[in-house]
Amino acid sequence: MNSLQSVGKPRELTYLNAIVEAQREEMLRDERVILIGENIDIYGGSSLFDTFDEKRLRNVPISENSFTGMGVGAALTGLRPIVDLTIASFVYLASDQIINQAAKLRYMTGGQLSVPIVFRACTYYNICNAAQHSDRPYPFFMNVPGLKIVAPATPRDMKGLLKAAVRDDDPVLVFEDSNLWTKKEPVPDDPDFLVPIGKADVKRIGSDITLVSIAGCLPRVMLAADALQADGISAEVIDLRTLVPLDGETLLTSLAKTGRVVIADNSHRVGSVASEVSAVLSEEGFQYLRAPVRRVTTPAVQIPYSAALERPLYPNKERIVAAAKSLLQQDRAR
């Protein structure tokens, strides 16, 4: 610990280093925590090999379904594994073990078993990787009871939520975003710093409209909020952070204040996270709505290779601003 921290000035950490630091701290704190993944000696966990050995750092062959299930089996028998599935498109190969075993075993054994496991998956989109490496599959897993799902968008939240996930007694999917790897901000180095699963974060207070940001949309949503501010529109920004369980209370409180909601979500439009948030707000907050809920999502089309085709697909400042303004105009027209 250096002198800067002791006077309460936390050092800056990148999003990527927040992931490594969270794992290192939890592995130091609890010997039951192990890391399972492909090429972890080169990528994600390389620096962990300075501290831990191959007993707890398991570099695995390309067998996603079985090494994921192996993690589940270890979780059932006294360990708290972190399974790094690397690119989120590979989660499909592991999905049988995540859905049919991890999510179900506590329930279908009437609570005899517990599955304290973390599945990490990184979304790599908007970098010309084409359709089989660019998925943002968060909403698939929202349809599976028994899984908790977090998608942190800042280094602080990544560290705090990943640590909370490791300490949780249920399976938690942690979605990372490679576009955020180099983002930096002050991050506490208290080894017990946690961000609670299930709590959204109000990033900016506003009064005219609520912008709900999902996962890696946050930087673009903040840019949109700035642009709206410049036009005299006060936007409240909520970073959802946890997708399951959804923080309906924070969403509804904001809606009650602003009466208008735009949801930005990188996942494909049909059955998106935004769809679920929209449904909850429409059902439970209809009385507050001064205009329809608007989703800004990725169209239901495969991710193409060419940047010229790919880049415009994701929610960006312009689309979010346009959606917000259209709601305000509709409202005035009424």
Report the catalytic residues. 133
Residue 20 dihedral angles phi and psi, to the nearest 5°:
-65, -45
Segment lying near other proteins (by CB under 8 A), choices 105-113, 132-140, 150-158, 322-330: 105-113
- In residues, how long is the chain? 334
Closest CA to 84 of 120, 134, 48, 136: 120
C-beta closer to other proteins: residue 106 or 183? 106
Kindly calculate the radius of gyration of the chain based on its CA atoms and give it in whole angstroms.
20
Q: Give the residue, chosen from 10, 41, 92, 114, that forms a contact with other proteins under the rule CB under 8 A.
A: 114
95 binds other proteins (CB under 8 A): no
Binding test (CB under 8 A) with other proteins, winner from 146, 219, 271, 304: 146
- Is 67 a binding residue for other proteins by CB under 8 A? The answer is yes
Helix (H, G, I), strand (E, B) or coil at 298: strand
Q: Between residue 290 and residue 329, which ones bind other proteins under the rule CB under 8 A?
A: none
The residue assigned the tokens 């907050």 is 285
Among 29, 41, 128, 170, binds other proteins (CB under 8 A): 170
CB of 97 to other proteins, least distance (A): 6
- Min dist. Cβ of residue 142 to other proteins (A): 8
Identify which of 202, 267, 210 has the alpha carbon closest to the alpha carbon of residue 239.
Answer: 202
Q: Judged by CB under 8 A, does residue 100 bind other proteins?
A: yes
User: Which listed residue (29, 39, 41, 58) binds other proteins by CB under 8 A?
Assistant: 58
Query: Is residue 34 near other proteins by the rule CB under 8 A?
Result: yes
Count of residues touching other proteins (by CB under 8 A): 50
Cβ at position 32, least distance to other proteins in Å: 8
What type of residue is 20?
V
The residue written with tokens 């079985």 in the block is 66
Q: Check residue 229 for interaction with other proteins (CB under 8 A).
A: no
Q: How far is the CB of 141 from other proteins (least distance, A)?
A: 12
Residue 96 in contact with other proteins, rule: CB under 8 A? yes
Q: With binding defined as CB under 8 A, does residue 188 bind other proteins?
A: no
Closest distance between other proteins and the C-beta of residue 197, in Å?
10
Is 112 an interacting residue with respect to other proteins (CB under 8 A)? yes
- Least distance to other proteins from the beta carbon of 267, Å? 17
Distance separating alpha carbons of residues 305 and 307, to the nearest angstrom: 6
Least CB distance to other proteins at residue 109 (A): 5
Cβ distance to other proteins smaller for residue 165 or 221: 165
| DSSP string of 34-53, one letter each residue | EEEETTTTTSTTGGGGGT--
Task: Looking at the chain, list the stretches that DSSP marks H as alpha helix, in order from N- to C-terminal side.
Answer: 3-6, 15-29, 64-76, 91-96, 105-108, 138-142, 155-167, 218-230, 248-258, 273-284, 307-310, 317-333
Q: Which stretch binds other proteins (CB under 8 A): 162-170, 205-213, 287-295, 325-333?
A: 162-170
Q: Which two tokens mark 325?
A: 């303004």
DSSP structure string for 117-129: -EEEEEE--SSS-
Other CB atoms within 10 A of residue 46 CB: 13
What's the order of all strands across the beta sheet hosting 261-268? 201-204, 235-239, 209-213, 261-268, 294-298
Using CB under 8 A as the binding rule, whether residue 53 contacts other proteins is answered as no
CA distance 111 to 69: 19
- For the segment 71-90, give every residue that binds other proteins (CB under 8 A): 71-79, 81
What is the contact surface with other proteins in residues (CB under 8 A)?
Answer: 34, 55-56, 58, 60-61, 63, 65-79, 81, 96-97, 100-101, 105-114, 145-146, 148, 168-170, 198, 244-246, 248, 276, 280
